[in-house]
Structure 1
């Protein structure tokens, strides 16, 4: 752990004109290092005395705090890695009296904070892979010969699934952090606005356009432009997959949707279906996925029947217990 801190500081020092950034990051990294050192010392003391259940529980609590500290440090590292890729390193022997100004700290801070939010709220990479693995079957039934583009590829979970299935793919993301992480994993990824990328594609040049947890970040004009450009760029028989929080689920639209400060508005499944059909897609459907599991769900009693109260509750709970995400599946006609 201690060996990681100097490496991060070295990256910061190499950034052109990044004195202010280095100072602030050093303070943050020092705080994290001090917290980890303090927690590690406490664990060493407690482990020697962990003969009682209360002490064991306290050890577990401290371990969780260390995990949080590691996550924070990882987010800082990802932000610095992306910034170092986009900022050219000056040659030590050359003194530039008019250095190119470095990007403001706000951009790096935003990249790092958003990476932290994604790690915390969306789930681990393994969880995302498990959720998206079923989507591969939809692509296997689409004519091959062209590439699949993942708009808003994020940490590259779906790119990894595509690679394992032998499907040519490309990731596109506006986040330098996300693109750097995908490239580190060996995937082809571009830092580019998704509409700029789609507009640059030739007609009928893509096997599939996929976009997971991205559409809700777009303004309405951008959303319909994505559908129109995707239709144009897809080969006949090509597929569009768009996963977004289910705007018809009250728990999502009224609560969890707003945990992400970059969300614009929830999208109702019926609206997604209508828009896809309007722009020419066929065999359009919206699957409700990520079903919530709760212990208090009331099931219909087919043998004895339900009281009027039970029927009301069963009807209302569907607005809360329907799939938390909506998957738009749409095809370009052959």
Structure 2
């Protein structure tokens, strides 16, 4: 292993220089970020996170998802919920691997992107989804989501997710 690989505990970890994110986002949206209103910044830049993350983002993301795959049950019969699914990349990956999955995201732009891809996606924040849903789930993911939740909500999110997951789920 080279020194870069040795620095990472898991095969899907990587470090990327943050300096190029803004340049890539501006190139992708075709306008300087400083010229945009806060509303437009949020709408445009949220959707381009994965696209600005790095040149090899797609392969890195797939390696990360493949690492999770052995732990996700395939024969329980209930859907797996990806909370904070964005445009549904993980949901699409799960479906390609014959795992029944649904996505949940609070951003309407991301929900629309997911629906265009043909995935099942619900517009809601994770806590509201788990509070309102009493349907059993084979598992729940909160990839790059839980750390953005208000501290006072984290226990409830985890508890509700635990309550919805059926025996043998994750």
TM-score, structure 1 length as denominator?
0.39
Q: How much has 1:127 moved relative to structure 2?
A: 2.6
1:124 corresponding residue in structure 2: 57
Give the 5 Å matches for 1:239-258: 239=170
Q: How much has 1:114 moved relative to structure 2?
A: 2.6
> Structure 1 unaligned runs (5+)?
1-66, 77-104, 240-334
Q: Deviations over 1:232-261 (max 9, x none)?
A: 11112221xxxxxxxxxxxxxxxxxxxxxx
1:133 corresponding residue in structure 2: 66
Q: How much has 1:148 moved relative to structure 2?
A: 0.4
Q: Deviations over 1:35-57 (max 9, x none)?
A: xxxxxxxxxxxxxxxxxxxxxxx
Matched, 1:149 2:81: yes
Q: How much has 1:138 moved relative to structure 2?
A: 0.7
Q: 1:212 to 1:229 in 2, by over 3 A?
A: same
Q: 1:154 to 1:235 in 2, by over 3 A?
A: same
Q: 1:196 to 1:69 in 2, by over 3 A?
A: closer
Matched, 1:168 2:100: yes
Q: Which of 198, 202, 208 is equivalent to 2:139?
A: 208
Give the Cα–Cα distance (whole angstroms) in 2 for the partners of residues 68 and 225 of structure 1: 35
Give the 5 Å matches for 1:3-82: 71-73=28-30
2:160 corresponding residue in structure 1: 229
Q: Which of 152, 174, 186 is equivalent to 2:118?
A: 186
Is 1:143–1:238's contact at 8 Å kept on the other side of the alignment?
A: no
Higher relative contact order (CA 8 A, sep 6+): 2
Is 2:25–2:52's contact at 8 Å kept on the other side of the alignment?
A: no
> Structure 2 unaligned runs (5+)?
1-23
Which portions of structure 1, spanning 4 or more consecutive aligned residues, are displaced by more than 4 angstroms? Answer: 67-70
Paired residue total: 143
Is 2:25–2:48's contact at 8 Å kept on the other side of the alignment?
A: no
Give the Cα–Cα distance (whole angstroms) in 2 for the partners of residues 174 and 108 of structure 1: 16
Give the Cα–Cα distance (whole angstroms) in 1 for the partners of residues 126 and 94 of structure 2: 19
TM-score, structure 2 length as denominator?
0.72
